[in-house]
Amino acid sequence: MPLLFPFAEYWWFYLAFTGLVLCLLSLDLGVFHKKAHAVSFKEATIWTCVWVTLAMIFNVGLYFYAKWTLPHNDVLMALPGFNPDAAALQVALEFLAGYLVEQSLSIDNIFVFVLVFSYFHVPPKYQHRVLFFGILGALIFRGIFIAIGSALMQYKLVVVLLGIFLVYTGIRMMFHGDQKLEPEKNPLIKWFKKIMPVSHDMEGQKFFSRKGGVLHATPLFIVLLVLEATDVVFAIDSVPAIFALTKEPLIVFTSNIFAILGLRSLYFLLAGAVDKFHLLKYGLAIVLTFVGLKMTVLSWIFKGHFPIGWSLGIIAGTITASILLSLAFPAKHPESGPPAVPPMD
Domain boundaries defined on the chain = 41-328
Q: Which residues contact 54 (CB under 8 A, 6 or more apart)?
A: 24, 258, 261
pLDDT of 343 > 70? The answer is no
Q: What are the beta bridge partners of residue 215?
A: 210
Determine the Cα angle at 137 with ends 291 and 323, to 5°. 40
pLDDT at res. 335: 47
Q: What are the beta bridge partners of residue 214?
A: 211
Record the pTM: 0.82
Q: Express each pLDDT in 155-173 by its tens digit.
A: 888 888 888 888 888 888 7
CA gap 55, 40 in Å, rounded: 23
pLDDT at res. 345: 43
CA gap 69, 82 in Å, rounded: 14
Amino acid at 39: V
Q: Express each pLDDT in 43-88 by its tens digit.
A: 888 888 999 999 999 999 999 999 999 998 888 888 888 999 999 9
CA gap 147, 145 in Å, rounded: 5
pLDDT of 26 > 90? The answer is no
Q: Express each pLDDT in 30-54 by its tens digit.
A: 666 666 667 777 888 888 899 999 9
